[in-house]
Amino acid sequence: MKKLGFGTMRLPLLDANDPKSIDIEQFKKMTDMFIERGFIYFDTAYPYHEETSEIAVREALAKRYPRESFLLADKMPISRVKSADDYPRFFNEQLAKCGVEYFDYYLLHNVGRDRYADTEKFGGFEFIRKIKEEGKAKNIGFSFHDDAETLDMILTAHPEVDFVQLQINYLDWDGAVAQSGKCYEVALKHGKKVTVMEPVKGGTLAKLPEEAMNLFNEFYMGEEVKPTPASLAIRYVASLDNVRFVLSGMSDLSQLEDNTSYMQDFEPLTDDERELINKITAVLKKTIKIPCTNCRYCTEVCPMNIAIPDYFGLLNLYAVTGQKTGMYYNRYSMNHGKASECIHCGQCEGICPQHIAIRDYLEEFAELYEG
């Protein structure tokens, strides 16, 4: 089975400022091309696109293809679960929104040290075990953005899970926060298959800064079909033995065309390509200031509707180029709170899978753009 999975967190939009305005017609074309090329794995979640991704999956996929012809993964929004009754309520809502009778893969979404106690208290693992017994979930697992020690603790307590979904990419492999490499080793130790998320780190590894891009271009000079930086990042994780699926959040047909082209007859990385990755990593580590992956979990909880990841994108750009782009800031802040309007409630930091000191960076950003 092919390893590439279609992540539906960054679908094409009709209005770039409205995450709910999914371009269904384009998504249908992307779905058709994905399936025509022999790929079958789709991944959605309750909060994606402000709770409309699951509906889009129903329209583009579940209503148009026989159920047995594709694999669908969905995730329980454990951050919103406040009692044991919420589990069946959310799950049934998700089945209805996706227009299916069962999920092939079902996960507890973003389990980490902070949420683990509540997940146990409200019977989260018990719930997914039960839906598996009932045939409503074929495989059960959880997605995870915390440290390797916590992962080891959870997998020891829950040997019943079939797989884990981890953030793995070459930049985070030795990272102190995401700990991609250590988490991968823990999953291996427990004999769990891995689904990879964020293989291009929210697009960071798809658009390399100039110095890294020069290394990339030099390496592939003279190639008949030149690969893209995203392809290098995705092939890096797909080359790991224990990886079952690699999710890519594709936003248009050209990205899908590119990803499916090299993942159709997948070639693992060569030793020379691994060496290239080491050099690119060294360059990136010098330049990336905030490790934001644009997952937008923080914007869902921010009472001031601050466009946190968009502002961080501008701050990262400033760190690399030294240039401010006021035009973008004006556009973002037109429909969102300004960075200086942060009330320091800390809710964003409680949910951020990358453990970013959001309040500090917003202050820095406000000084730069509003000061």
Binding residues vs ligand SF4 (CB under 6 A): 292-298, 301-304, 306, 308-309, 342-348, 352, 354, 356, 358-359, 362
Identity at 244, one-letter amino acid code: R
Q: Which two tokens stand for residue 157?
A: 């307590």
What whole-number distance in Å separates Cα of residue 92 and Cα of residue 101? 9
Nearer to ligand SF4, 193 or 359 (CB): 359
Nearer to ligand SF4, 62 or 307 (CB): 307
Nearer to ligand SF4, 73 or 352 (CB): 352
Min CB(115)–ligand SF4 separation in Å: 14
State the DSSP string of 311-368.
HHHHHHHHHHH----HHHHHHHHHHSB-GGG-----HHHHH-TT---HHHHHHHHHHH
CA angle at residue 10 from 29 to 180, to 5 degrees?
125
Min CB(305)–ligand SF4 separation in Å: 8
Nearer to ligand SF4, 228 or 293 (CB): 293
What whole-number distance in Å separates Cα of residue 339 and Cα of residue 342? 6
Min CB(235)–ligand SF4 separation in Å: 24
What whole-number distance in Å separates Cα of residue 283 and Cα of residue 211? 7
320 Cα distance to chain centroid: 24
CA angle at residue 20 from 291 to 201, to 5 degrees?
20
Helix, strand, coil percentages (3-state) for the chain, rounded to 5, are 50, 15, 35
Q: Which of 319, 308, 304 is nearest to 359 (CA)?
A: 308
- φ, ψ dihedrals at 149, nearest 5°: -65, -45
3-state secondary structure of 144: strand
Min CB(298)–ligand SF4 separation in Å: 3
Min CB(80)–ligand SF4 separation in Å: 15
What whole-number distance in Å separates Cα of residue 185 and Cα of residue 152? 10
Min CB(23)–ligand SF4 separation in Å: 22
Longest dimension (CA), the chain: 60
Min CB(26)–ligand SF4 separation in Å: 24
Min CB(345)–ligand SF4 separation in Å: 4
Nearer to ligand SF4, 280 or 356 (CB): 356
